[in-house]
Amino acid sequence: MTAAGNRIAVVTGASSGIGAATARQLAAAGYRVVLTARRKDRIEALAAEINEAGHQATAYALDVTDREAVQTFATAFRTIAVLVNNAGGALGADPVATGDPDDWRQMYETNVIGTLHITQALLPALTASGDGTVVVLSSTAAHATYEGGAGYVAAKNGARVLAETLRLEIVGTPVRVIEVAPGMVKTEEFATTRFRGDTEKAAKVYAGVAEPLTADDVADTIAWAVTRPPHVNIDLLVVRPRAQASNTKVHREL
Ligand code: 8X3
């Protein structure tokens, strides 16, 4: 067991991708990881895998957009060391002229309101730990827009602003706020969810890119930021694959 000892790390959206990879890495770093996501079977399987590897994990089915459920979840904890706000994602890539308002609403609900619910609910336990860390997974989309991205860019800007504002408001308390902003990450679900199961469209996102980031690459940066000494606050960590110079400048070998 490392310095993380018996401390608890809660990861939202832990059923796949960056959330699952982060749960594995924080468990390996010695945290007791609490996996949350809507899909119970997936997080239970991951918790079993982590426990079999000799680390500690439990699964708790949770939809972060359900405020009451989040509040009930929070009552189970007196202290929490780390909250990783990973639940969220993109829906659609339509121009502003034709974008679906329901997509925009849903993205705001998951990426911003979900993060708000669980951060509010767990803040007392994070403070009580004497050394708490809130991680907000934003995106490079939170830092620059691109065509077809407005709904997602707006939602991720919301998540970024939540993180930046919270950091100002709780300064002086023993809780730090870290924003991790990944660029192009190839995960099993991000692009297929965005394009509602259209695997051809999803594949185009990564076409010709030699090495997009993996979920593990991003989890590695999260685990690194979280395991810095308590007085060190990584305000913002932007991580992209080498082939991506900006949201719209990507080297493709086609
Ligand atoms: C994912 C990055 O470029 O698809 O958060 O918006 S992008």
Domain CATH for 180: 3.40.50.720
- 109, part of any domain: yes
Tokens of 225: 């930021």
Q: How far is the CA of 30 from the centre of ligand 1 (A)?
A: 30
Enter the DSSP assignment of 84.
E
Give 215-247 pLDDT, tens digit per residue: 999 999 999 999 999 999 999 999 999 999 999
Compute the half-sphere exposure of residue 238: CA atoms within 13 Å on the CB side of its CA. 11
Residue whose Cα lies nearest atom 6 of ligand 1: it is 141
**Has residue 227 been placed in a domain?**
yes
Q: In what order do the strands lie in the sheet with 32-37?
A: 56-61, 32-37, 8-11, 82-85, 132-137, 175-182, 236-239
Residue 85: inside a domain, yes or no?
A: yes
For the Cβ of 37 lying below 6 angstroms from any atom of ligand 1, the answer is no
Per-residue confidence (pLDDT) for residue 4, from 0 to 100 = 75
Give strand ranges (E) for 109-235. 132-137, 175-182
Q: How far is ligand 1, taken at its centre, from the CA of residue 141, in Å?
A: 6
Judge if the beta carbon of residue 13 lies within 6 A of ligand 1.
no
Lookup: tokens for 43: 């997080």
Q: Best substitution site from 110, 111, 184, 187 to test ligand 1's pocket, by max atoms within 8 Å of Cβ?
A: 184
Residue 29 lies in a domain: yes
The token pair at 76 is 């189970």
Is 196 within the bounds of a domain? yes
Distance 187 CA to ligand 1 centre (A): 12
Establish if 146 belongs to a structural domain: yes
**Which two tokens mark 136?**
């907000």
**Which atom in ligand 1 lies closest to the alpha carbon of residue 205?**
4
Catalytic residue among 31, 108, 146, 152: 152
Any atom of ligand 1 within 6 Å of the Cβ of 141: yes
Residues of the chain with pLDDT under 50: 1-2
Q: Please give the residue range of the domain that contains residue 151.
A: 8-250
Active site residue 152: yes
Which residue, by CA, sits nearest to atom 4 of ligand 1?
184
* Ligand 1 binding pocket includes 110 (Cβ within 6 Å): no
pLDDT at residue 1 in the model: 40
Measure the CA angle with vertex 179, ends 49 and 104; round to 5°.
90
Q: Which two tokens stand for residue 154?
A: 């707006």
Q: Is residue 2 part of a domain?
A: no
Please name the residue whose Cα sits nearest to atom 5 of ligand 1: 139
Q: Please return the burial class of 223, using the count of CB atoms within 10 Å of its CB with bins 0-12, 13-18 and 19+.
A: buried
1 is a domain residue: no
148, burial (CB in 10 Å: exposed 0-12, middle 13-18, buried 19+): middle
| Ligand 1 neighbourhood includes 212 CB (under 6 angstroms) | no
Whether residue 92 has its Cβ less than 6 Å from ligand 1: no
Amino acid 6: pLDDT: 78
Cα R_g (the chain), whole angstroms: 17
Residue 247: its pLDDT value, please?
Answer: 97
pTM tops 0.75? yes
Number of domains comprising the chain: 1
